[in-house]
Structure 1
Amino acid sequence: MTQKNSKLIWVLFSGLAVFVIYLFFQNQSPEQEQRASGSATLVTTQLVTHSALVRQVSSLGTALANESVQIVSNTNDYLIELHINEGKTIEKGQLIAQLNDVEERARVAELSASLVDQKRQLERVKNLAKTQATAQSLLDEQQTRVNTTQAQLDAVKARLNEMTIRAPFTGVLGLRQVSEGAYLTAGTVLTTLDDLSKIRLEFSVAEYYLAQLQPGMTVHASNVAYPGSIFTGQIKAIDTRLDPVTRSVKVHALISNDEMKLRPGMLLNVSVTLAEVQALQVSEKALVPLQNKQYVFVVNQDNTVTQTEVQIGQRMPGLVEVVSGLKAGDQIVIEGTTKIRSGAVVVPTVSKAGL
């Protein structure tokens, strides 16, 4: 009985020992396991170097016509001529519409004849005033008549000019809103006129970039209607005030529109090139986020790795700028970061693509 109890105790003791050894190996860190087994983790690395970096700011913008007006009637009368070719270019000063101006023309002719007669009488009174002092009052009265008639003639000529509607600048006519023969009232819209030879692009930029913005900077824009096409222009004006709600500033740029692809109202993706600098850039795969910080694994000379905090700047597709924490020549892990910890031994393989 005693011998059986002894064997049972030894069996239990052996099992307990095996369990303790299992727990020990389970709780070992990767680097301890590596050292215990004499193995190292195979990782892909990248050498940190300086490379050209284009600093950009992106935004959404709206396309506007360089010049844009609504063509309206300034007076009340019948429309007797209409020259609106929708979607066609019209030159500055070219006739768009003609209202009935028969009454105004007759009035101009009447006042013109009257003015000629009033001026002739004025000359007679002037000659009379040279010899007779009492004619001075007649001279003053006649001069008043001439001035009054001239003012009336100018007013009628102005109304006559309003009967003829011409293009204020060269542009493209919009859709026709009225028909020939219609009776127009003041303010009636006939059509629109847009100068589309250039597009004025309006977009907003955050306050943070205000000091870096300058007129003349290059602007690149794209639109979903033309995949792969990039429209290039320059900043022409920066608003003097910031929006107190969004803390952003409005910017206007001009883009050449020779092919007439862009139209007012289009939504454009905008990017502005602020500067071109040399900066440290690494693959975004090297970043190990922890809470609100970013880390990378730096490979030491003895092939151990050190987890190092970095400050990042601008992000690009597949790349990220490192502001601090690394220096040129450092070797960092870009693949295999999930299999290692600080102090682990690695077998580095430098990526040929550097990514």
Structure 2
Amino acid sequence: MAQLHSRLIWFILIALLCFVGFLYWQSQQTNGTTRGPGGTVAVKTAVVESQAMSREVSAIGTGIANNSIQLIAPNSEFLIELNVSEGKKVEQGEIIARLNNVQQKARVAELEAVQVEQSRQLERLKNLATTQATAQSLLDEQQSKVNSSKAQLDIARQQLNDMTIRAPFAGYLGLRRVSQGAYVSSGTVLTTLDDMQQLRVEFSIAERYLAEVAVGMPITVTNVAYGNIPFHGQVSAIDTRLDPITRSVTIHGLIPNENLQLRPGMLLNVRLQLENRNVLRISEKALLPQQNRQYVFLVDAENRVQQKEVEIGQRIPGWVEVLSGIREGDEVIVEGVQKVRTGMTVNKVGS
């Protein structure tokens, strides 16, 4: 019985060793550890070149109407006319609502009559002054009365005009908040007016891009409601101040919106197209990240490997900008990075 147990233990140990050996062989195959002539590691390399790189900044933005206001009642009065159809387009100066203005009309008529009488009295005194010694003080007093009545008439006319609410610009009416015939208080919101023929988009970018961004640069926005359909526009304004907490600057873009597909308040994915410039770029596969640093492996004229730390910049799919650490003409490993170490000799294949 003890001999049987001993054989079973040896059998288990041998099976375990075989299994470990199989796992090691499989890991070597998975890592693609191929060897070239003389036992050197086979790698693929690429020469570092300076090329034009399309550079973009991505951000999350919010849609804002190009012009947007709330139309409110300037006085407390009955609403005798209301021309609000939700979503209707109105032109600048079109009447939106009218408040009861009987008192204002009467006040204007009264002051117009006073103005006429005061002006007539002033003309009479001026005519008398040419034939007899009319005191200058009487002329001055009457002139003051004329000026006062004129000022009161201007105020009354303005108050009468305020009872009629007009569209200050062309746009689209929002939801109606009151009904015709209702008594409204001063400051009551009647509806909203938005100019959406062009939509502004507000977004922020990091301060390191401030020196590169300029008014007129192209932007592209997308929204989940329309999938990947792009809407194109351009930068219209750059804030003069940076946020001291986030160290970012706010940008406004302007997007043509004739079909009214984009609406104020929408969450928009923004891509800001910066000016293209020549940069040193390498394949992303050449990077070997270690903690917060990035490294590449250089291959010299004798096919020896040297590890070099690099500083990277902008990334685009498949490529990365290199700011420092390597020079144009250097040869870097782009495939087989995980298999090499500093000082090894490699066999370049398909470079």
- TM-score by length of structure 1 reads 0.81
Matched residue, 2:274: 274
CA distance in 1, matches of 2:252, 2:166: 29
CA offset at residue 67 of structure 1?
1.2
**1:1-355 map, 5 Å:** 38-134=38-134, 136-350=136-350
CA change 1:146–1:346 in 2 (3 A) is same
AA aligned to 1:117 is E
Q: Which moved more, 1:87-96 or 1:327-336?
A: 327-336
Q: Point out where structure 1 has 5 or more consecutive residues left out of the alignment.
A: 1-32
AA aligned to 1:158 is Q
SS in 2 for 1:216: coil
Q: Point out where structure 2 has 5 or more consecutive residues left out of the alignment.
A: 1-33
CA offset at residue 135 of structure 1?
5.1
SS in 2 for 1:123: helix
CA distance in 1, matches of 2:224, 2:304: 49
CA change 1:186–1:297 in 2 (3 A) is same
CA offset at residue 34 of structure 1?
6.6
CA offset at residue 175 of structure 1?
0.9
CA distance in 1, matches of 2:89, 2:114: 43
Matched residue, 2:7: none
SS in 1 for 2:155: helix
AA aligned to 1:326 is I
Q: Which moved more, 1:189-198 or 1:268-277?
A: 268-277
SS in 2 for 1:212: coil
CA offset at residue 166 of structure 1?
0.2
AA aligned to 1:241 is R
CA offset at residue 41 of structure 1?
3.1
CA contact (8 A) 1:47 1:350 kept: no
CA distance in 2, matches of 1:67, 1:84: 18
CA offset at residue 161 of structure 1?
0.5
Larger Rg belongs to: 1
CA contact (8 A) 1:203 1:252 kept: yes
**CA distances 1:298-355 after superposition (whole Å, capped 9, x unpaired):** 334444433333222211122111223334444432222222323434443336xxxx
AA aligned to 2:122 is L
CA offset at residue 63 of structure 1?
1.6
Report how many aligned residue pairs link the two structures. Answer: 318
- Percent identity, aligned pairs only, is 55
Q: Which moved more, 1:78-87 or 1:37-46?
A: 37-46
CA distance in 2, matches of 1:145, 1:302: 105
CA distance in 1, matches of 2:108, 2:316: 71
CA distance in 1, matches of 2:210, 2:142: 66
AA aligned to 2:59 is S
CA distance in 1, matches of 2:139, 2:35: 120
CA distance in 1, matches of 2:215, 2:163: 42
CA contact (8 A) 2:35 2:42 kept: no
AA aligned to 1:52 is A
CA change 1:124–1:287 in 2 (3 A) is same
CA change 1:310–1:152 in 2 (3 A) is closer
CA contact (8 A) 1:34 1:345 kept: no
CA offset at residue 281 of structure 1?
1.7
AA aligned to 1:166 is R
CA offset at residue 183 of structure 1?
0.7
